[in-house]
Amino acid sequence: MNIFDKFLHNVSYKFPKGYPDMSNPNDISLLESLISEVLGQSVNLNEGSVKQNTVKAIQAIISSRLGKQHNFKLQSDWYRLGNMDKISPDQFLEIIKDTFNNPQITILKPKEGINDSSKFNMYLFDTSEGPVKITLSGGSNLGEKYESNFYDKIKSSAGTPLEDITDPDLRELYTKIGIDPEDITPEQVIQTGNKDTKRPIDFNGPENKGKTISDITILPDTYLSIKNISGGGFYNGGTVPFIVSKNGEVVYDSSRFNDKPTIAKLFETFNIDPEKVAQGLNEYVAKEGSIPNAFESTNVSNPDDLKKFIASGYDYGYWYVREKEKGLFIYDNRTEDDVYRFVGDIKNASIKYPNAATKTLTVKLTADSPVLGAVNYLIEIRDTQGKGILPLSLKIRTA
């Protein structure tokens, strides 16, 4: 009997049939929860098919008889549905039952089982396609609201002569991107920022990803990345596989260091000590230990590699549009040369490890950009799912 068989044997009594029925979303949820407890991190079984089923189910809800009566919005996480009208759980249950012929529905409260949300319920049920999980969230964040408002303005201005447009931001945008609004139709303006745009980041440099990154597309091929005034983040993704939980402590598992070569090279490039990361996270949990106030300087052995790494977080093939206190910052980021000019030359780097006061590993890069001037890039590695300490995920932003 292998270790997984032993595990199933020990937990079989928890399932109604004496074993997990993988066609039953409730059994799948319970099994995921039990495995997650053992591993110390979230586990999704059959994630690919659940994702496909959920995406289809959400579209069916939005276009259903009752769903059309409410304002739902797709969100960046494929299983989250924005509840713009703030309908009640009972109203959402009624919509699900009406859309899918009264399925059996399990509601997971915040932080219950596989529900990683700290605020919103998750709904598990079965359709003819298979198991589905949907988190009904509270709607858009400020960045998403800004993007949606900007989309509405562009769409409503389509077909209008430029000289008749009174909004100064719209006039500036059309002038910079070289489009006469009178020459486009509302149907050519598409909001694409609510789709899943996760993409790899590496040390090989940027790629043409305009179509993927685009928040608003003006057909056939004008791609706009829209940021509100506080939108300094430009990359999310990439987990650290070798910092794990074992026997209630955070440890460095050296056998998994090369599981993700890009993350491994990131640690090697900055001489980040994984043992020190694990130690700092344990100090954060215990709220004991020293609290350093400053970043530690580290050598930048190959600045060009770091420039490629940051540039791959932006990629190119689109117009970068960001809100300012007055007006817009609009940058033509359609070529590889454009994104390298935007990023600039890396001058130095420093590190701050997790400690009793913070669970974040931060690498700060200082760069000299011909476009942005002196700029700091922060590579932050921390739990980003609100689950506590692990898993560690990678985020990059400007500061």
Q: What is the pLDDT of residues 322-332, one digit of tens each?
A: 999 999 999 99
Ramachandran sector of residue 172 (left: φ over 0; alpha: ψ -120 to 50; beta: rest): alpha
* Phi, psi angles (nearest 5°) of residue 60: -65, -40
Nearest partner of 336 among 319, 316, 321, judged by Cα: 316
The encoded tokens of residue 158 equal 């389509």
Nearest partner of 377 among 278, 317, 303, judged by Cα: 303
Which of 58-67, 109-118, 374-383 comes out lowest in average pLDDT?
Answer: 109-118
pLDDT band of residue 227 (cuts 50, 70, 90) is very high
Inform me whether the pLDDT recorded for 317 exceeds 70: yes
pLDDT band of residue 98 (cuts 50, 70, 90) is very high
Q: Which DSSP state fits 295?
A: P
Alpha-helical runs (H) found in the chain: 3-11, 25-39, 47-63, 89-99, 142-157, 168-177, 210-213, 261-269, 274-286, 303-314, 336-343
Q: What is the pLDDT of residue 25?
A: 62
pTM for this entry: 0.67
Domain boundaries, the chain: 3-137, 140-399
Q: What is the pLDDT of residue 1?
A: 47
The encoded tokens of residue 228 equal 């509100």
